[in-house]
Amino acid sequence: MAAVIGRPNAGKSSLVNALVGEKVSIVSPKPQTTRNGISGILNTESGGEKAQIIFADTPGIFNPRSLLDAGMAGHIRNAAAGADVIVYVIDGSKPYGDGEAADIRRYMKYGVPVIAAVNKSDITGYGVMYPRLAALSQIKDLEIMPVSALKKANLDKLSDMIISKLPEGEPVFDGDDYTDKSMKFMAAEAVREKALLYLNEEIPHGIGVEIREYADREKSDLTDIVADIVCEKDSHKQIIIGKGGNMLKKIGAAARADIERFSGRRVNLQLFVKVRENWRDDAAHISQFSGKN
């Protein structure tokens, strides 16, 4: 188990997707895109030995303001506590701060190896990258690897470094598995990703997606999906639907294409919008979006 931890927008989900070779976590330019502890599974070889790395993708480190936020922070703690190695992802294109150094030292107290993966090396010149690497090198027992999730630079070296720190044991998942999440959960995340991509800044983190129906038709390659995009305000509902339903259609078309790609089936996707005020502070509503079912 490798817990992937870091500040918002460091590129954690993009790095996990690149390492696994499949899109297991949604990505967007907006912070706190990841809400659940999502696992991506990499089956590979290193030094002639077979290995399985279970990457636990986590939300960005932040100060919780709602019950949903508290749950997200809990995912980070649980991932770190259950990990054999912690991969702390740093945005190499931004100044390296004392807060990240404090984060790393805190996670080193968990008693497992910590690797600093300095991401976005493809857009960061050596003159900018070197001071970050030099500062990180001052932290005792910390291993460092500059990477690029976008260009897939040094990912083999990073996975080899992770594998060298993992205990021997039997594989947890089958060799064909690349995530621990269900297709139903992945479909909900696909819809949420497109909503994050297309909607205004003030709306995305006030939405959740609930799958009301997910059914594969017998003797057919067609899957029927009915989903609700849940928001907190009537004014947000109108924006999500858009003029003449154009925004909802745009979100649906993009999400359907993603679901068809990862499911390998044709998809009939129907989207609706519902208003539930303050759902982010309602445990029952949060559990509906958690991916446990």
Could you tell me the CA-to-CA distances from 180 to 36, 40, 73, 88, 223 in Å, in that order?
12, 7, 20, 21, 20
- What is d(CA 273, CA 255) in angstroms, rounded to the nearest whole number? 15
Rounded-to-integer distance, Cα 268 and Cα 249, Å: 13
Structural domains in the chain, CATH included, are: 2-163 (3.40.50.300), 183-288 (3.30.300.20)
Question: Taking the mean position of all CA atoms in its chain, how far away is CA 125?
Answer: 27
pLDDT for residue 48: 83
Question: Can you tell me the distance from the alpha carbon of 256 to that of 225, in angstroms, rounded to the nearest whole number?
Answer: 10
pTM exceeds 0.85? no
pLDDT along the chain (293 residues), means of 10: 89 92 75 64 88 85 54 66 92 83 92 95 81 89 94 95 93 87 91 88 74 94 95 89 95 97 95 84 57 46
Q: In what order do the strands lie in the sheet with 266-275?
A: 208-216, 222-231, 266-275
Give the per-residue pLDDT at 292.
Answer: 47
- Please tell me the distance from the alpha carbon of residue 150 to that of residue 90, in angstroms, as a whole number: 14
